[in-house]
Amino acid sequence: AGERWKDALSSCDLEQIHYLGFVQPQGFLVEASADWITTRTSANLEQFLNVSPEAVLGTPLSEVLGRDMLHEIRGQLQMLGHGSGAQRLFGSDALPGGRPFDLAIHRAGESLVIEGEPAVQGDEQVAGFVQTLLGQLRHVPDLARLCDLVVRQMRALTGFDRVMLYRFHEDLSGEVVAETRRGDLAPFKGLRYPASDIPAQARALYLRNPIRLIADVAAEPVPVLPALDPSGRPIDLSMSVLRAVSPVHIQYLRNMQVGASLSISVLSGGRLWGLIACHHATPRNLSLQRRTALEFFGEMFSFLLESRARAEEVARREEARDFQTRMISQLSGETGSLDDVFQHLVGVQSMLGADGLATFIDGRLRTTGTTPGTSEILEIMRFLNRAAASKVYASHALSLVHPPAAHYTRQGCGVLAIPVSRRPRDYVVFFRRELVQQVTWAGEPAKAVRRVEGTQQLSPRASFAAWRETVRGQSAQWSAGDLAIAEALRMTLLELMLQVTDRAEKQRK
Ligand code: BLA
């Protein structure tokens, strides 16, 4: 991939996408100071409210919104308190301009930001529809089916041509894990996209502001004026509902031949698990009221995923705990021997989904299942002496850190090693075999970024043609749950090992 690529990526991460100072043209934005003076507006204000930005900048906010509306907003804000939480008002007809608007109101630092979009009649019904759909989601037993249902429901709620569930991997590349689409579109399901397609600052922003619509990829964005306030600061549009997105991303969507895009964050355990990502071939706008219902839908889906993951984790830890309790009670009796310990570990092996097991205790090697050969294991033990003095050690690609392992990936290229004596010599090691993976990237990942000839500008790649990579030398990854089981086992084994070797010692005398 090379340094140039890395360089390009880091500058991608540096674009301050919340300070670009533009909104999308389907609505207007007004910023006011704490004492209700209009400090900025979007340049298109007149189109919606019949007043020009020049006429209202520096005057009371009531000149823009009317007294009645301002009164209502003040009431709302009192409920809001001083947090940064956003407020919504739907179908309000108290504004000048003669038609009903949906309003989004939030604080940005000292300022108040009010955004308005024309309301769509009938969209009051969407919240109820969302409730019904959530009722169905709750009863789906397995994860794959849950994901399939969610994309189908989102399609019904949005009418977008293609709805995908995009899941992040550990390395922040992502994969389309579920999809529903218009019949004539090519499928994206199963395709992988490099981490640079959604740079770090965008992912951080999507944690805080969970939904964004790009209603028309080709639309000219509208500036918010003045660009800088009297202290020279640009407006912070992090929590805006109309923020115009990065031009780099607009180019990306053009390259993909997308006319409108909508994405909703899916969170789990406080992290961005993925996105529900929707494409439409032509421009497509959804009312703020509908988007607010969709935001709630996404939040509920996140809760469902998270509680499911937590329940699985709890069950797994309980299983591990029961197992250890049994092991302790059986082995701390008078007769427990190292052979008995080994028998118990075979049970742990299956619990961890490992293919093989080796123990090296008091100079004796015991193995079962698929493992590298004896001399190779002894070499691994020496490697572990350097790598993992007294901690659990895990790798799913051993040859990267222990090059000789490249010769026996089929026997074990994933190791989870537990030191079981205070001296760094005795280990319990679980092995996982190589998992040869075919990864189909949507475009060659090393070419995800192009430098525009002769400038500093970056541009996303123009081609998404499938690019197949065969990943070798890796096993399935050890999960956080696997590591927790191993750590608990380490404590138990340290204790047991002392007892068992003591006993063996006594019997020898
Ligand atoms: C944002 N990139 C995004 C977003 C998505 C993707 C979903 C969120 C905004 C949205 O809803 O459209 C990527 N979209 C995808 C992927 C699929 C999809 C992977 O549908 C798969 C099917 N992008 C690049 C490069 C850069 C880049 C090279 O490819 C940087 C040089 C930047 N992507 C980029 C930026 C954003 C972004 C800056 C943030 C846009 C914003 O919110 O302002």
* Per-residue pLDDT tens digits for 95-151: 888 899 999 999 998 899 999 999 999 999 999 999 999 999 988 888 889 999 999
- Of 13-17, 181-185, 187-191, the range with the lowest mean pLDDT is 13-17
**Residue 39 C-alpha to ligand 1 middle, in angstroms?**
31
pLDDT tens column, 232-264: 999 999 999 999 999 999 999 999 999 999 999
Q: Is residue 461 over pLDDT 90?
A: no
Are 146 and 124 within 8 A, CB to CB? no
SS3 at position 488: helix
Q: How does residue 315 score in pLDDT terms, banded at 50, 70 and 90?
A: confident
The one-letter amino acid at 344: H
Candidate of 207, 236, 252, 272 to mutate for ligand 1, largest count of ligand atoms within 8 Å of Cβ: 252
Closest CA relative to residue 382, chosen from 416, 343, 427: 427
- Residue % of the chain over a pLDDT of 70: 94
> Taking residues 334-341, what's their average pLDDT?
75
**The pLDDT of residue 36:** 94
Say whether both 372 and 427 belong to one domain: yes
**Residue in this structure with the two tokens 């280990």, named with its chain if needed:** 427
258 lies in the same domain as 357: no
Spatial separation of the C-alpha atoms in residues 371 and 410, rounded to whole Å: 9
Residues 151 and 216 in one domain: yes
In this structure, the residue with its CA closest to atom 3 of ligand 1 is 198
Distance CA 216, CA 282 (A): 8
> Residue 363, Cβ neighbours under 10 Å: how many?
7
Ligand 1, atom nearest to 8 Cα? 31
* pLDDT for the residue numbered 5: 42
> 155-169, 289-303, 441-455: which range is least confident on average?
441-455
Please count the structural domains in the chain: 2
61 inside domain: yes
In which region does residue 109 sit, left (phi positive, over 0), alpha (psi from -120 to 50) or beta (all else)?
left
Mean pLDDT of the chain: 90
Counting atoms of ligand 1 from 1, which one is nearest the CA of 244? 43
**pLDDT tier at 389, thresholds 50, 70, 90:** low
pLDDT category of residue 6 using cuts at 50, 70 and 90: very low
Same domain, residue pair 123 and 231? yes
Asked whether residue 295 falls in the same domain as residue 355, the answer is no
Separation of CA 288 and ligand 1 centre (Å): 22
Between 12 and 28, residue with greater pLDDT: 28
Q: Is 124 a member of any domain?
A: yes
- pLDDT at position 85: 64
> pLDDT at position 326, please?
84
- Judgement on whether residues 365 and 217 belong to the same structural domain of the protein: no
Q: For 364-374, what is each residue's pLDDT tens digit?
A: 999 999 999 99
Tell whether 341 and 294 lie within a shared domain. Answer: no
Quick check: is 451 in a domain? no
Which of 309, 344, 370 is where one domain is finished? 309
Question: In angstroms, how far is CA 137 from the centroid of its own chain?
Answer: 20
Q: How far is the CA of 246 from the centre of ligand 1 (A)?
A: 9
Query: Where are the strands (E) in 215-331, listed by range?
Result: 222-225, 260-268, 271-280
Domain extent for 375 = 332-436+472-508
The count of other CB atoms within 10 Å of the CB of residue 156 is: 11
Per-residue confidence (pLDDT) for residue 4, from 0 to 100: 43
Q: How far apart are CA 474 and CA 414, in angstroms?
A: 7
Which pair of structure tokens corresponds to residue 138?
A: 């709750």
- Which one is predicted more confidently, 471 or 59? 59
User: What does the pLDDT read at residue 82?
Assistant: 60
Rounded distance from Cα 199 to ligand 1 centre (Å): 7
Mutate to test the pocket of ligand 1, among 181, 197, 241, 250 (most ligand atoms within 8 A of CB): 197
Residues 297, 336 within the same domain:
no
Residues 297 and 404 reside in one and the same domain: no
| Residues 166, 69 within the same domain | yes
- For residue 269, pLDDT over 70 is answered with yes
Q: Which two tokens mark 176? A: 């389309």
Same domain, 196 and 56: yes
Look at residues 257, 275, 309 and tell me which one is the last residue of a structural domain.
309
Query: Helix, strand or coil for residue 118?
Result: strand
Residues 392/469, Cβ–Cβ less than 8 Å: no
Query: What global pTM score does this model have?
Result: 0.86
Q: Which atom of ligand 1 is nearest to the CA of 258?
A: 20
Q: What gap in Å lies between CA 59 and CA 103, rounded to an integer?
A: 21
Same structural domain for residues 305 and 336?
Answer: no
Domain assignment present for 297: yes
Q: Report yes or no on 136 lying in a domain.
A: yes
Taking a C-beta distance cutoff of 8 angstroms, is the pair 479, 449 a contact?
no
Euclidean distance between CA atoms 208 and 72, whole angstroms: 26
Give the pLDDT confidence score for residue 148 in this predicted structure.
97
